[in-house]
Chains A and B, each alone.
Chain A
Amino acid sequence: MEEQITQEELKKKLEETQKQRDEYLAGWQRARADFLNHKKEERERMQEFIKFAEEELLSELLPIVDNLELAFVQLKILNSNEGLGGKEDAVSKGFSQIAMQLKSFLKDHQVEELKAEGEKFNPEFHEAAGEVESPSTGSGQAGIESGTIVEVLSRGYTLHGKLIRPAKVKVAK
């Protein structure tokens, strides 16, 4: 003889099942909504992404620009030593122009140099690489205020106004 299931038990089972059904439906709707929202956010993310897609590439160019600038400092010293009176020789001038080309390229891609020398140190844009004693003040001459940037070791840059590399600087004590 089969066991009869009581009305009580049936009612309970029905309630449970209805509860579960509601839960599943709600979950399904929520998942669908999450998905649609995700698609919308994806579209927005794409825009942001396109804007900053070049960020990594351009950031990797910066150390090369740094090295070029180091080279130019040396070239200047070399030229002044050789008694050319600070005038650039033709080959150096050629290199200078190439460097200018690179700088224009960066500017065209919305990469801007950060102004740092003489500015007050600000950790939002600058990274301290060392401290220097403020040059002693001469008679009546105002010394350099503490916290001012006295030397820029490598430039800082922004892309579309967003910082992509802080300037590495030396700060007056």
Chain B
Amino acid sequence: MVQTSQATLIGYWLTVILAMGLLIVPWSTPVLYLAPNWVLLILIYWALAIPETAGVGKAWFVGLLVDVLTGQLLGQNAFAYAASIYLSIKQHKRIRHNPIIQQSLFVCLILLVAQIIVFWIERINGQIMPMLSWLTVLTGGIVWPVILLLMRKIRIFSY
């Protein structure tokens, strides 16, 4: 077990809160559909970087907060986030050493899993998500390299 420092933990929560803010920034409608799921991307980053600390439990709690933030059914994002973070932690040793492009593909896959879970729950609840909302999966993958490099910079800075 690696002991994670207090600073990293603070960084974890700060970036998550920042991502939550980004999630609810009001864009115009076409951009809205393109906006990636910032919170989940940040969570995946932390799950790959410090899997011992950024566990499934924390991801579940963050998901619950996002549910309240966006006024959706309690537990739907929590479920999706917990499942996708579980997958990322399972695979983190393999993924960490891949080149960035392959990581992007993997992230796309995880975002897709999360989106499918949300889609199912919404469907059972009687909501039908428009086809356009699947685009966030792609944009998430495209944005991943930026997030990765940016977060690395921040982490080096914080040490």
Q: A and B bound?
A: no
